[in-house]
Chain A
Amino acid sequence: MVNFPYLSFMTFTPVFGALFLLLIPKENARGIRTAAAFFTLLTLVISLFAWRAYDLTLDPAAHPVQLVEGKAYDPQAPDAERLSAGSAWIPAFHIYYFVGVDGLSLPLLLLTALISTVAVIASFNIENRVKEYFFFMLLLEAGMMGVFSALDFFLFYVFWEVMLVPMYFLIGVWGGPKKEFAAIKFFLYTLFGSVFMLVAMLALYFWSGHPDRGIPHTFNLLELKRQAGGFNPAFQLVVYWALFLGFAIKVPIFPFHTWLPLAHVEAPTAVSIILAAVLLKMGVYGFLRISFPILPLATQQYATVLLVLGFINVVYGAFCAMAQSDMKKLVAYSSINHMGYCLLGMASLSAIGLNGAIFEMLGHGFVTGSLFLLVGVVYDRAHHRDIDGFGGLGVRVPKYAGLMTLACMASLGLPGLCGFVGEFLCLLGAFNPNRILGNDATFKVFTALSVIGILVTAGFFLWMIQRVFLGKLNPKYAELPDLDGRETVAAIPLAVMTVLAGVFPWFLLKVMDPASQALVTHIVSHAQQVSTSGGDVVSWLR
Chain B
Amino acid sequence: MYHAIKERVTELLSTGEVKGFLALKKDNGHIKPHLYVSPDEIDQLSIGDGETAGDARYPLTKILTMLLQNHSGEPFGILARGCDQRALRALAAWNQISLEQVVVIGVACSEELARACNCGLPYPDEWLEGEQIEPKDPRPVEWEAKSPLQRLDLWRAEFEKCIKCYGCRNICPMCFCKECSLESEDVVTKGEIPPDLPMFHLVRALHMIGRCVDCGLCEEACPASIPLRALYKKVNDIVETRFQFRAGIEQTEQSPLHKIAEPPAAI
A in complex with B: no
